[in-house]
């Protein structure tokens, strides 16, 4: 399976690791680590380089937090945070994804050379689909989100999430293909934690085959999510209160379980640890095949 992007055709025969670069002061897991007021990019670029040193196959840059309750960021501020880091990251020789839902930011990122648009709104914002349709070959990731970041966890989905998520992703992918977008440019993401209950998130992991049946590569983002904390300690009154940086081991476990069930892009904070455990899993796979 291949994923066509602006500069690279990514071979997804084996799972690929996407390293997260949050250019925000308020992300739920590592807010402020790469954020420099005034437009400085040194910390963010060091982080990009470290992720690649640790084994990341691609980078995902995001300048607006999508944590539960996060307020929308003005367009000008998102561009100011994103563009200088994007321009530098594009020189590192790997695919670079931009996590945004604003059509104007998508256009600016693609004009700068971004390889992938990773949209939590799955291109539902007015004007987003035409931006992608007008580009000759950028990659796109369509994610499922119930409601919006301000309300998604206060009123999560009801019922069996798996067929609802599958239907939504199929509809969005079909809409893109109707605009002439080649299937090989499309990746899908079930949106772990975006308006789902703990049980629904784990159902999406257990039943990934129902999402893979749609015929698109699957990107998953389990990294440091509060559902992992809730599974570790069900008696914890507020799973989100557990320091996200203390969720590394369960994050890696969830990522590898997702890979074993067919996910091909793993969006993670803890790149080195994920890559090391993937190598153990792949060594087992290779021995089994041999």
Q: How many CB atoms lie within 10 A of CB 38?
A: 5
Sign for the CA dihedral angle at 102, 106, 107, 112 comes to positive
Adjacent-strand bridge partners of 44:
none
Instruction: Find out whether 144 and 165 touch, Cβ atoms under 8 Å.
Output: yes
Q: Which are the contacts of 232, defined by CB distance < 8 A and separation ≥ 6?
A: 242, 250
Instruction: Find out whether 24 and 63 touch, Cβ atoms under 8 Å.
Output: yes
Q: Which are the contacts of 143, defined by CB distance < 8 A and separation ≥ 6?
A: 118, 119, 120, 121, 122, 188, 189, 190, 191, 194, 219
Instruction: Find out whether 188 and 165 touch, Cβ atoms under 8 Å.
Output: no
pLDDT at residue number 146: 94
**pLDDT tens track, the chain, 290 positions:** 999 999 999 999 999 999 999 998 855 455 555 655 555 799 999 999 999 999 999 999 999 987 777 778 999 999 999 999 999 999 999 999 999 999 999 999 999 999 999 999 999 999 999 999 999 999 999 999 998 876 767 778 999 999 999 999 999 999 999 999 999 999 999 999 999 999 999 999 999 999 999 999 999 999 999 899 889 887 665 555 567 778 899 999 999 999 999 999 999 999 999 999 999 999 998 886 66
**Residues tagged active-site:** 225, 267
pLDDT at residue number 5: 98
User: Per-residue pLDDT tens for 136-149?
Assistant: 999 999 999 998 87
C-alpha closest to that of 121 among 79, 152, 89: 152
All domains in the chain, ordered by first residue: 2-289 (3.20.20.20)
User: Per-residue pLDDT tens for 12-30?
Assistant: 999 999 999 999 885 545 5
> Tokens 């966890």 correspond to what residue?
153
Q: Give burial (CB, 10 Å; 0-12/13-18/19+) of 16.
A: buried
């Amino acid at each position: 399976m291949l994923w066509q992007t602006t500069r690279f055709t990514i071979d997804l025969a084996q799972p690929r690791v996407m390293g997260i670069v949050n250019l925000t002061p308020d992300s739920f897991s590592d807010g402020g680590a790469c954020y420099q007021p005034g437009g400085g990019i040194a910390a963010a670029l060091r982080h990009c380089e470290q992720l690649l040193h640790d084994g990341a196959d691609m980078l995902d840059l995001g300048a607006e937090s999508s944590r539960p309750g996060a307020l929308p960021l003005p367009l000008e501020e998102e561009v100011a945070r994103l563009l200088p880091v994007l321009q530098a990251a594009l020189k590192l020789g790997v695919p670079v994804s931009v996590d945004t839902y604003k059509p104007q930011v998508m256009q600016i990122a693609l004009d700068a050379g971004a390889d992938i648009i990773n949209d939590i709104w799955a291109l539902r914002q007015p004007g987003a689909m035409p931006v992608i349709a007008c580009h000759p070959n950028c990659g796109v990731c369509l994610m499922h989100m119930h409601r919006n970041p301000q309300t998604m966890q206060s009123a999560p989905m009801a019922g069996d999430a798996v067929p609802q998520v599958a239907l939504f992703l199929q509809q969005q992918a079909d809409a893109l293909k109707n605009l002439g977008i080649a299937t090989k440019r499309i990746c899908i993401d079930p949106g772990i934690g975006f308006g789902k209950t703990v049980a629904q998130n784990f159902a999406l992991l257990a039943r990934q085959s129902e999402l893979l049946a749609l015929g698109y590569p699957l990107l998953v983002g389990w990294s440091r999510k509060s559902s992992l904390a809730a599974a570790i300690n069900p008696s914890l009154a507020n799973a989100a209160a557990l320091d996200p940086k203390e969720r590394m081991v369960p994050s890696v476990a969830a990522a590898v379980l997702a890979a074993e069930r067919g996910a091909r892009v793993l969006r993670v904070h803890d790149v080195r640890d994920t890559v090391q455990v993937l190598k153990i899993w792949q060594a087992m796979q290779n021995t089994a095949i041999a």
